[in-house]
Structure 1
Amino acid sequence: MTSEDARQGVYYAEATARQQVPDPLNLCIYATVALVTWLLGPVALAGFAVLGFAGYWRARRQGLRRSRCWLRDTRLVLGYLAVLAGVGVWALVW
């Protein structure tokens, strides 16, 4: 059996097909986050915002200045997440 024959096998075809089809994992993650947010409301908003803020704060301290987030600048992202956390806490108290 040559290497060419081995590449024509079932497993090679499946691996090639898997590489060509994008995995919409992000959409599943977004749907799960939306579900948790819908179920827990302000608690989820405040929690996810604080978690995101902590992650971006740590990344900024390690040197990240530009994010793939739509806001790009990590200072803007931190401000946005701080506002979201504040709104979540306000909604909990109110």
Structure 2
Amino acid sequence: MSRDPRLVEPQRVGPDGQGGPSGPPDPLRLCTFATVALLGWLLGPVAVVVFAAVGFAGYWQARRAGLLRSRCKLGDTRLVLVYLAALAAAGVVGIVLGWWVW
């Protein structure tokens, strides 16, 4: 039985400069956080509404599929849904107040 050529192990560099499983971790989450922060800064409350709505839709679908606990700090998916709905509502208020003030 041969190995599937589409399954490729990522190359890693160990502390000794040689490849190995003890290579440095990829800080992809930090890049993701920076990108989300940039979009939030540029788009303001619109970004909050969009990200909260996408997150709410994802958690809603996951909850309906049976997910009861999340890796989110809030834990219970019901709390996460309430949190995301509150963020979306705050974003809408920010948009309305921003338009009203202008």
* Common fold by TM > 0.5: yes
Between structures 1 and 2, the one with greater helix share:
1
Please tell me whether residue 46 in structure 1 is matched to residue 23 in structure 2: no
Contact 2:49 2:88 in 1 (8 A): yes
Report the residue type matching 1:62 in the other structure. A
Distance in 2 (alpha carbons) for counterparts of 1:28 and 1:66: 26
Equivalent pairs counted in the alignment come to 83
Structure 2 counterpart of 1:32, from 32, 35, 51: 35
Alpha-carbon distance change, 90 to 24 in structure 1, aligned in 2, over 3 angstroms: same
**Residue of structure 2 in register with 1:93 after alignment:** 96
Q: Which has the higher contact order (CA 8 A, sep 6+)?
A: 1
**Cα distance change of structure 1 residues 22 and 90 upon mapping to structure 2, 3 Å threshold:** same
Letter in 2 for 1:73: D
| 1:16 to partner: Cα distance | 1.4
Give 2:62's aligned residue: 59
Deviation of residue 15 (structure 1)?
A: 3.5
Report Cα offsets for 1:30-49 as digits up to 9, x if no partner.
00000000000000000000
Report if the CA contact (8 A) 2:53-2:84 is conserved. Answer: yes
Root-mean-square deviation (Å): 1.8
CA distance in 1, matches of 2:44, 2:57: 20
Identity of aligned residues (%): 60
Gaps of 5+ in 2: 1-10, 98-102
Tell me the TM-score normalized by structure 1: 0.82
Which runs of no fewer than 5 residues in structure 1 stay unpaired? 1-10
Which residue matches 1:71?
Answer: 74
Give the drift of 1:12: 8.2
